[in-house]
Amino acid sequence: MPTLELITDADLYAPQHVGRRHLLVGGGRVLWIGAERPELPAALDVRVTELGGRRLVPGFVDGHAHVTGGGGESGYGSSVPPQQAGAFVTAGVTTVVGLLGTDDCVRTTGQLVNAVYGLRAQGLGAFCHTGGYHLPPTTLTGSIRGDIVHVDPILGFGELAISDHRSSQPTYDEFLRVASEVHTAGLMTGKAGICHLHLGDGVRGLELVRRALDGTELPARTFNPTHVNRRRALFEEALELTARGVVVDITASPEDGAQVPDGPDADLPASFAVRQVLAGVAAGRVPKNGWTVSSDGGGCLPVFDAEGTVTHVDVGRASTLPALLANLLEGGYELADVLPGLTTNPARLLRLEGRGSVTVGGRADLVVLADRSHAVDEVWCGGERFVAAGELVRADPF
């Protein structure tokens, strides 16, 4: 089997638009990028893939997924099964970060780490956070700092629930203790050291984060709120914090094409939220690297009534990421403007060097987009072909 692959005539977005280029891939890395097609000796047995001018982009970095499955809010039968690598790579995701949510009791950090190693064995780039919705936290070594320091895939803590009826209602002091543990562990290891925060529908919103920024020495990057588009008022509050250095995460969601509802409690479709972010970037109100998008893949998406009873349940899917990208491109947005939220921005926040961009020496995590539909057409993960003509060509073990 060839150990080298020449990808020719790619319209390269790295994620900035580079133009027509050829790429040589080997050993899981991008070895060379050039404008002139190279003449390579036949003895090297190089496999050639012609793209014919199709767009080549970095593999997506999905910073929030329930790889062990989420759920449990409507009884024992409502737990979502674990996710396989194919569910992610067919959506263009080449790096995923797993975490625990509501169920951090039956599901444990040990199970999560095991699932991450399983995804790595399947060829996917995979990491995770320790903890879950609740305090005291579930850990593997007995402490948050110990987990991050001693367990290779663990990058930070999350998703810690705040402003949500399912949270453990952490006090301000408890919140700071967790954030300080995570930050210190990040310093000790060079890992992300972030506190990934689940935001619920509560009116308190990001109050704990604002208090921490105003009253402590903890850097703003420590706090990484997600689901910020679940309420209009929360979203506007989150955008204000980006100017202080907080990176906020938008949850991709199925688009129903309906008019965006008005009012502070309106749930904002991801496409609308990204449009608002890009307008903020253009106006200088939002830093270019101050936002990310994640899928909540494998997570349970319950809808509650006023009494806290589940009335409807959906499941998060990684496929919402390319669907969101296609929605924005069809709406006239530039690919180079949208891609950072799916690639370089999460890779930078998570301190995953060599991921989220197409550079010489970086991982060969590559996605080809179809010309008309903008769908994921081809995927290489660590230089290995996983998707061809939109179909998974490397089978999941189960």
Question: What is the topology classification, in CATH, of domain 4-57+357-392?
Answer: Urease, subunit C; domain 1 (2.30.40)
Q: Kindly give the confidence (pLDDT) of every residue in the chain, 398 residues in length, as a single tens digit, with 9 standing for 90 and above.
A: 558 999 999 999 999 999 999 999 999 999 999 999 999 999 999 999 999 999 999 999 999 999 999 877 677 777 888 999 999 999 999 999 999 999 999 999 999 999 999 999 999 999 999 999 999 999 999 999 999 999 999 999 999 999 999 999 999 999 999 999 999 999 999 999 999 999 999 999 999 999 999 999 999 999 999 999 999 999 999 999 999 999 999 999 776 555 676 788 888 999 999 999 999 999 999 999 999 999 999 987 655 556 666 666 668 899 999 999 999 999 999 999 999 999 999 999 999 999 999 999 999 999 999 999 999 999 999 999 999 999 999 877 77
Q: What is the pLDDT of residue 396?
A: 77
Q: Can you read off the two tokens belonging to residue 259? A: 């008019």
Question: Rounded to an integer, what distance in angstroms lies between the CA atom of residue 324 and that of residue 337?
Answer: 13
Does residue 357 sit in helix, strand or coil? Answer: coil
Q: Which of 104, 155, 94 is CA-nearest to residue 125?
A: 94
Question: Rounded to an integer, what distance in angstroms lies between the CA atom of residue 204 and that of residue 69?
Answer: 28
Question: Rounded to an integer, what distance in angstroms lies between the CA atom of residue 395 and that of residue 388?
Answer: 12
Q: How many other C-beta atoms can be found within 10 angstroms of the C-beta atom of residue 8?
A: 16
Residues 6+ positions from 146 with CB-CB distance below 8 Å: 139, 140
Q: Which of 363, 374, 369, 360 is CA-nearest to residue 387?
A: 369
Mutual angle of helices 232-242 and 270-282, in 10-degree steps: 30
What residues does each domain of the chain span? 4-57+357-392, 59-349
Q: Is 296 among the residues known to form the active site?
A: yes
Residues 6+ positions from 216 with CB-CB distance below 8 Å: 176
The C-alpha torsion from 144 through 145 and 146 to 151, rounded to 10°, is: 90
Q: What is the pLDDT of residue 259?
A: 61
Annotated catalytic residue: which of 147, 296, 365, 377?
296
Strand 223-226 to 195-199 pairing: parallel
The amino acid at 379: V
Question: Rounded to an integer, what distance in angstroms lies between the CA atom of residue 251 and that of residue 297?
Answer: 10
The residue assigned the tokens 């496409």 is: 271
Q: What is the pLDDT of residue 86?
A: 95
Question: What is the topology classification, in CATH, of domain 59-349?
Answer: TIM Barrel (3.20.20)
Question: Rounded to an integer, what distance in angstroms lies between the CA atom of residue 323 and that of residue 271?
Answer: 10
